[in-house]
Structure 1
Amino acid sequence: MTLPSLQDKVALITGAAMGMGEATARLFAEAGARVVVADFNDEKGQAVVDAITGSGGAATFVHVDISKAEQVQNMVRAAVDAYGRLDVAVNNAALTPDDKPAHDFDEGYWDRLMAVDLKGTALCLKHELRQMRDQGVGGSIINISSVSGFRPQPGNIAYVAAKHGVNGITKVAALENGAHGIRVNAVAPGAIDTPMLRGALEQFGLDPQAYAPQLSLLGRFAQPGEVAQASLWLASDLSSYVTGTVIHVDAGYVGAR
């Protein structure tokens, strides 16, 4: 298969130690990017780097908690120190959805999830945009949203609110930075077979195999690499006239009302 090219581009991916983030890091490296794997899980993040470099790609690991502004700033600086610039960023890091109804939500988990999924994504945007604007040659940023930002599920009040927010900040950043040649888009995955999804289904006592047809017109969960392909297209020059939009990778879930 011929991939869109990211040859010699520098790509920063948060939450890249596993799941969709790992798949994205591996795919981007295969497409020629020099990849910065950013995560709070040092062991798994370094394992992703080792796999990429072992296959002949270029990658480095950066430890980050994206809810901490100083760590996010240091993450972007580390990417530039390693490879000289920043061309692409995929803001993928997020916490597992909450599992309480609106009348009984966990305030502590609300605060933690918002700090990572919404504020953390905004912090990443802030410092990635600053770097790209300073470089003056444009760039592409992809925020990972969710179908929950369009078609809410009960019991996910914090996660749903955060992902609606991610859609909003994506559009604001696109409006503000088009004149600088920086494209900002989002990908909204549906039912993707990741540890996060399986953990969420387990919280609700749902069997993944039986529940898949309710979340997908194709009757199955997607693989993380199928989401990574959408991010790769948005990162590449093939999407050069696309900004301020959300691509749904959800097997028709949002439209099937």
Structure 2
Amino acid sequence: MNRFPGKTVLVTGAGSGIGRAVALAFAAEGASVVVAGRTAAPLDETVALIEAAGGTAAAVTVDVTDSDRLRNLVRESVDRFGSLDVAVNNAGILRGAVPVAEVSEEDWDAVLRTNVTGVWLAMKHEIAHMRENGGGTIVNVSSNLGAHQRIPNAAAYLTSKAAVSALTRAAALDHIHQGVRIVAVSPGAVDAPMSLRPGETAADRAERMKTENPLGRVAQAAEVAEAVLYLASPAAGSVVGADLVIDSGSSA
């Protein structure tokens, strides 16, 4: 398939995991991809993978908690490739695997600032451009943990991702009439470092998932990417404010 020829796609948190898989998938279907994140080296690796497969990409370092840098990120994306058609807000962190009363104020602030305020700031600048330039689509990466499922000792992360799910719906209602369509995906455990427990190996996780997860395995990042591409495509034109859970049945 070649669903995004001539389109420009911005992906935050694109140096690894879901973000990298999303960037690779869009590039494979004709998009020019701007890969953004805090650290240059993994972003450059993502660009190299895209270019090796014949795609087009550019890397931009950015802290999603910095409003000015996000405004410039949108501008740089448009200056480089001529438009901004799709944005995937994927950057996020996980800290403080302890009960609520033991969560440090530093960890709480860092998680909420990155996972919630970072998504809001990114949308703020993405929407400002899109609504003045023919519209676009935004896909926020939330989580099955939060609005859909809870686990112990993850209060900051749960709160942040529940907020992303709610923020996505609110933004979708506010801006669909301006031609900006906003949706979310909520992955569960994915074959990425964040789904490993402390000291756990990938083999340990695979064994745990056989009994912990209805499907019996973690999702692949490429499977989440396929869902993101569908939601960003014209085939999903009437999908507004949806929050698609991709968690192998964990929250069913």
Give the alignment's TM-score, normalised by structure 2: 0.95
Q: Deviations over 1:120-141 (max 9, x none)?
A: 0111010000010111x12110
State the number of aligned residues. Answer: 250
Q: Does the 8 Å CA contact 1:146/1:187 hold for their aligned counterparts? A: yes
Amino acid aligned to 1:80: V
Matched position secondary structure for 1:148: coil
CA distance in 2, matches of 1:35, 1:176: 26
Between the aligned partners of 1:204 and 1:51, the Cα distance in structure 2 is 28
After TM superposition, list the pairs within 5 Å mapping 1:23-34 onto structure 2. 23-34=21-32
Superposed, which structure 2 residues align to 1:84-123 within 5 Å? 84-123=82-121
Q: State the AA in 2 paired with 1:202.
A: P
2:237 match: 240
1:216 aligned residue:
213
Aligned to 1:202: 198
User: What SS does structure 2 have at the residue aligned with 1:134?
Assistant: coil
Contact 1:190 1:215 in 2 (8 A): no
Indicate the RMSD between aligned Cα atoms, in angstroms.
1.6
| Preserved CA contact (<8 Å) 1:191 1:216 | no
User: Is contact 2:186–2:243 with CA below 8 Å preserved after alignment?
Assistant: yes
1:209 is displaced (CA, Å) by 2.5
Relative distance call for 1:74 and 1:155 in structure 2 (3 A) is: same
User: Is the Cα–Cα contact under 8 Å of residues 13 and 35 in structure 1 kept in the other structure?
Assistant: yes
Q: Which residue of 2 aligns with 1:79?
A: 77
Change (3 A) 1:215 1:10: farther
1:162-200 per-position Cα deviation (integer Å, ceiling 9, x unaligned): 0010011101110011111211000000110112212xx
For residues 134 and 213 of structure 1, the distance between their equivalents in structure 2, rounded to whole angstroms, comes to: 49
Contact in 2 for aligned 1:146/1:189 (Cα 8 Å): yes
Distance verdict in 2 for CA 1:8–1:205, change over 3 Å: closer
- Shift in Å at residue 210 of structure 1? 3.0
Aligned mates of 2:144, 2:95 — CA distance in 1 = 12
Q: What is the match of residue 35 of structure 2?
A: 37
- Is the partner of 1:219 in helix, strand or coil? coil
Partner residue of 2:176 out of 175, 178, 181: 178
Tell me the equivalent position of 2:65: 67
Matches within 5 A, 1:130-169: 130-135=128-133, 137-149=134-146, 150-169=148-167
**Structure 1 residue 251: deviation in Å?**
1.2
Unaligned regions of 5+ residues in structure 2, if any? none
**2:198, 2:137 → 1: CA distance?**
35
**Amino acid across the alignment from 2:198:** E
2:177 alignment partner AA: A
Letter in 1 for 2:205: P
Moved runs in structure 1, 4+ residues, more than 4 A? 203-206
* Aligned residues with identical type, % of pairs: 38
Distance, in Å, in 1 between the alignment partners of 2:145 and 2:2 is 28
Corresponding residue of 2:124: 126
Q: Once the 2 structures are TM-superposed, how far is the Cα of residue 215 of structure 1 from its aligned partner?
A: 4.4
TM-score by length of 1: 0.93
The whole-number CA distance in structure 2 between the counterparts of 1:95 and 1:229 is 22
Give distance in 2, aligned partners of 1:46 and 1:244. Answer: 32
